[in-house]
Copies of this chain bind each other. A is one copy, B any other.
Amino acid sequence: MGNGEASLLERLRERQWRITPQRRVVAEVLHGDHVHLTAEDVFAGARGRLPEISLATVYNTLGELVAMGEVREVRAAGGPVRYDPNAGSSHQHLVCTSCGALFDVDPLGVAGLGLSEGDSHGFSLVDVEVTFRGLCRDCAGRS
């Protein structure tokens, strides 16, 4: 995993972000690879370290982390949003359309948009979706 790179918390300090106990524990809970936690998960983890933290603060903090690009939202299936702290690395996901199970898959097997044996995690694939994100002409102009 990302040893040798700055942790999320370190990156937040570099950004001169005001570090409160609440923000620190949220960043700590989000640490690691292959992390796809719901807000409720983060709340539970954060509470273990700081019992007085509120769910609203967790939501606020997650929203800010997403806005500053340190954390990514993953919206799969019908469930709640998952938060993925790997802002720099792979963003290829493997989602079960039935139970919502979610895996990272690292190297994009571009051969026919298939997946390598090792990355398929036993899934029977149904389709692939590619989403390009950015700012449209109007929004880029407005910034």
Which A residues form the contact surface with B (CB < 8 A)? 75-76, 91-99, 101, 105, 108, 110, 113, 115, 121-140, 142-143
Contacts and interface: CB of A to CB of B under 8 A. Distances in A.
Nearest to A69: B126
B108 A136 contact: no
A138 to B, nearest CB: 7
A98 to B, nearest CB: 4
Copies in the complex: 2
A58 to B, nearest CB: 16
B98 A130 contact: no
What is the interface of chain A mostly: helix, strand, loop, or mixed? Answer: mixed
A78 to B, nearest CB: 8
A37 B136 CA distance: 19
B94 A135 contact: no
A132 B3 CA distance: 28
